[in-house]
Amino acid sequence: MPIYQAEKITKQELKSTELGKTLLEKVTPKKELNKLAQFYIENYLTVTGNERFKTCGNYFEFLTNRELSVRKVHKSNSCGNRFCPLCTWNTAKKDAIKISVLLQAVREEKEQEFIMLTLTAPNCSPVNLKDEIDKFNKAFKKLFDRRNVKKVVNGYMRKLEITTDQEPKITKELYKKKQAYFKKRGLGENDSNPQYNTYNPHFHVILAVNKSYFNDTKIYISRDEWLEMWQECMDDERITQVDVRKVRSSEKSENGAVLEIAKYSAKGNEIYHSKAVFDVFYRALKGRQLLTYNGIFKEYLAKFKKGELDKYKKKDENEYTHLLQSFWKTSKYENVLRQLSKEELEEYNQRAKFIEESNEI
Ligand SMILES: [Zn+2]
């Protein structure tokens, strides 16, 4: 077996390449965030747990080519903690492919159409967040046990997301974003923000319905009816924000829905805002199921896991000829590139025949 010389790759060489961009713009900021999160999570983990969290992402192997124009994670040391920025990113990228495959398979084999439903409620205080999520779960169950809903929904995928507002004063950007809300209350830029330190849990849901649903006025549920039912189930008439839309079969529409369900339950700039904010998120999310599959989607998830839906996965057409090893050294990755041996080339390319991670996240 020939021995291939490994060569160091400089930041300058990396900069203009696809793999380099992934490393510098995606992996490195997440590793930096992991370093910050270490201090926040320290008290909650055992000595071993902390060690795993700290060393997460210290080592990556990417399959690539000489030009570094293609990339695929081959190996990495990951901690698997749901509060780790690197691991939540990894999960979201995989979930995006999984959800997209499930939609295609269910659409084709079960002739289903999809609806994107977003269920929200007014913001709550940090101390009430945990109870509020429990309330959401109960209300959701009530809603989907209703006869008219049960009759049309053949399954759902549901994601819990929590956002928080950590601006003490109304900034220019914040005013722009929620202009209607502030105007109604006679508030302007630089005023105290009434939503400061409040939290907003909400559900993003994809529903599967029969094709005939949209043309059958007897069973069709309008946006106003969804809103009214959600108000009743939550026992809260203040709720005004319910969004319902059909997921069209265009790639753009479907992709948008996939990303809503696959993306993080908490945004990185929010959950790691401060130790106090992290504690609120941690207590609210710990041990909770964040992504739920039901009915037809649960059935197809089992097929997905058994590899029965591989035909819906996109083929990875890239040829991987090289291996880039990235080692985390205090504040940046040091990278070494080498050619794959003949045996590795065959084995790794065979293993990499499908696209398993979305590059859009
Ligand atoms: Zn991790």
Residue 332 has pLDDT above 80, yes or no: yes
Rounded to the nearest integer, the mean pLDDT of the chain is 94
Distance 350 CA to ligand 1 centre (A): 27
Angstrom distances, CA of residue 23 to CA of 33, 68, 137, 275, 348: 14, 11, 38, 27, 21
Please name which of 143, 146, 63 lies closest in space to residue 322, comparing C-alpha atoms. Answer: 63
Distance 87 CA to ligand 1 centre (A): 4
pLDDT interval class at 35 (50, 70, 90): very high
What pLDDT, on a 0 to 100 scale, did the predictor assign at position 252? 84
Distance 220 CA to ligand 1 centre (A): 44
Q: What percent of the chain has pLDDT over 90?
A: 90
Distance 260 CA to ligand 1 centre (A): 22
The per-residue pLDDT for range 118-159, each reduced to its tens digit, is 999 999 999 999 999 999 999 999 999 999 999 999 999 999
What pLDDT, on a 0 to 100 scale, did the predictor assign at position 251? 82
User: In the 8-state DSSP scheme, what is residue 46?
Assistant: -
In the three-class reduction of DSSP (H, G, I as helix; E, B as strand; rest coil), residue 130 is classed as: helix
Better pLDDT: 249 or 34: 34
Residues whose CB is less than 8 angstroms from the CB of residue 5 and which lie 6 or more positions away in sequence, other chains included: 338
pLDDT interval class at 254 (50, 70, 90): confident
What pLDDT, on a 0 to 100 scale, did the predictor assign at position 1? 47
Residue 111 has pLDDT above 50, yes or no: yes
Classify strands 7-9 and 59-64 as parallel, antiparallel or unpaired.
unpaired
Distance 275 CA to ligand 1 centre (A): 18
What pLDDT, on a 0 to 100 scale, did the predictor assign at position 3? 59
